[in-house]
Chain A
């Protein structure tokens, strides 16, 4: 049976297994299922999926319902964490919460689970107000997630709370016998004037095929600051469609940094909706891939109010037969005067067989705005290579240093030092050098 049919026919049994969810969630699920049923999985015929095909993933035999908890020793997965103790941690194994690997809190803020938020009366108001609100209900993969979502991170930061340590959200997968479909659902609500830093990663621990269809909704209230980092460095059989929706209120500042280094197919649908004045949105990313890897960034910044800014900066380095896609859309509503929208996308192709599709898309309906975009595609700068080698830096190290320097505009705004060090190390590893970069 095709995955689509398998999912649709399993829905009734799936819902029967859910206990004590808030009123209204059933209707949300049903409506979402209908959307998915109508639209199905996106294909290359959809304009937004012109360069990315899910076909090779979908033909796998999937395990779609996951219940049992799996045990993993901390020491086995320690390397995927930011640090030993100084973070809040939400860890999920095959989509199921792992309490012994996690470190949650209700002390001054909620760092807990969507399953709690779906059922506990005290969270009903937050769910009613914000769940499935920012997310694009007409998007088929988002709808699929909404229909089947059971677990994920629920983070609720109250007004004026500065969260002192980063929150890590980690999705591990261990299934061996079949391909695994996981659909994490995160809701992050950040109150007025509050500040939080979040690091998210998806990691498979063996070679089985994994297809993650994640949805994250972020709501940043007035003057809130949210820094969200996505570390995508998964194994070669892992596939990820990440749907992230950000709603920003007046004077809030939200940044999402996406580091796409691993995995077979990665699609990042990143959407920012500005719903207030003097908002600042930052979307940055580094893609560093090789072999047959495929990374597709599909971004939208929707400027709906006057006097807001957006900053997009994506750097891509493609080796081997890898393929990159960057589709960046900036929409400026007719009332969004004095918008300052900036978009930069620079790419280096290290191999003749690597490909990049880059498409800036500006839709501007206001007349007093500043919008700029720049896109470059180049090769390794041979003059710079000779210059560095003449100073005694070997070819591989010179190349690595140049590549690292190329990503500087993205790295410079990473505000979590351990994360920055970790990313620098991953980049060095990807480039095959042991040198430490100055960070």
Chain B
């Protein structure tokens, strides 16, 4: 599904990603862990096409097609989704209106008609129930005044609505209490299938108890320095990131 080859990226001439190689196949869940400042969020921004970052070398390939030159919306239309670490507040645009616009713009890009209103409402209702989201919540301005947990739940609601092929969840567990974490994880697990893939970016192992990864990668100083199974996350949790640092220096 996703292939990343020798990816280098900079922001304001400072190199953050220094040669990332990663392959994610359909049906898989990958976790990317690492200390603060390792480049985790940069990686998610670069995959999704954030223009604040410059790709200086390497390729990002989705289902055989290179994404490097595509804008964020074109990548989204091809099925790339990012659950933001810090979802942006957009006063004056309701959650429902935002989702209708997003879905219909994607359909337009694919040459499809707008989704009929009744079908849209049905879908919104179904996905809101999955994430245990109250109806009133959907008419509120996007992320405005939402609690940390509400923002994250809303991100996964949007993921459910858009049904991406590749979902990148950036620190989705941060700011979630245990109940919200369970709801969010349950949502992600229900949406997972053999045809899509999930990349979890996380600092802590906690989320991985609920969404079990097939692979765990450790990102350190702009590179993936270690890859293993889900047990690697436990080991990291136990030994801390200093252990990585120490083992690299050996």
Contact = CB atoms under 8 A, between A and B. Distances in A.
Interface of A: 381-384, 386-395, 397-398, 401-402, 404-409, 435, 438
B88 A391 contact: no
22 contacts: A381-B88, A384-B88, A386-B52, A386-B72, A386-B88, A387-B84, A387-B88, A389-B73, A389-B76, A390-B76, A390-B82, A391-B162, A392-B73, A392-B106, A394-B71, A394-B109, A395-B71, A395-B73, A401-B101, A402-B93, A404-B92, A405-B90
Given A386-B72, A390-B84, A409-B92, 19 more contacts: A381-B88, A384-B90, A388-B90, A388-B98, A388-B102, A389-B49, A389-B73, A390-B81, A391-B76, A392-B109, A392-B162, A393-B102, A395-B71, A401-B93, A401-B101, A404-B92, A405-B92, A407-B92, A438-B94
Contact of B101 (A382, A383, A384, A397): A397
B158 interface: yes
B54 to A, nearest CB: 14
B105 A393 contact: yes
Given A386-B50, A390-B48, A438-B97, A408 B92 contact: yes
Nearest to A437: B97
Interface string B99-139: 01111011001000000000000000000000000000000
Interface string B74-94: 011100011010011011111
A342 B94 CA distance: 26
Contacts of B48: 390
Interface string B163-193: 0000000000000000000000000000000
A360 B28 CA distance: 58
Contacts of B88: 381, 383-384, 386-387
Nearest to B80: A390
B214 interface: no
A395 B72 CA distance: 9
Contacts of A394: 71, 73, 105, 109
B51 interface: yes
Contacts, number: 78
Contacts of A402: 90, 93
A401 to B, nearest CB: 6
Which 3 A-B residue pairings sit nearest by Cβ, starting from the closest? A405-B92, A408-B92, A392-B76
Given A386-B51, A392-B162, A405 B76 contact: no
Interface string B43-63: 000001111100000000000
A185 B73 CA distance: 51
Interface of B: 48-52, 71-73, 75-77, 81-82, 84, 87-88, 90-94, 97-98, 100-103, 105-106, 109, 141, 158, 162
A81 to B, nearest CB: 29
Contacts of A404: 92
Given A382-B52, A392-B76, A387 B90 contact: yes
Contacts of A397: 101, 105
Given A386-B51, A386-B72, A397-B105, A392 B90 contact: no
B90 A389 contact: no
Contact of B105 (A382, A383, A392, A438): A392
Nearest to A403: B92
A406 B92 CA distance: 7
A387 B73 CA distance: 10
Contacts of A409: 92
B91 A408 contact: yes
Contacts of A395: 71, 73
Contacts of B158: 391
B102 A391 contact: yes
A390 B92 contact: no
Contacts of B49: 389-390
B92 A392 contact: no
Contacts of A389: 49, 71-73, 76
Nearest to B103: A392
Contacts of A382: 52
B93 A435 contact: no
Contacts of A391: 76, 98, 102, 158, 162
A392 B91 contact: no
A388 B48 CA distance: 12
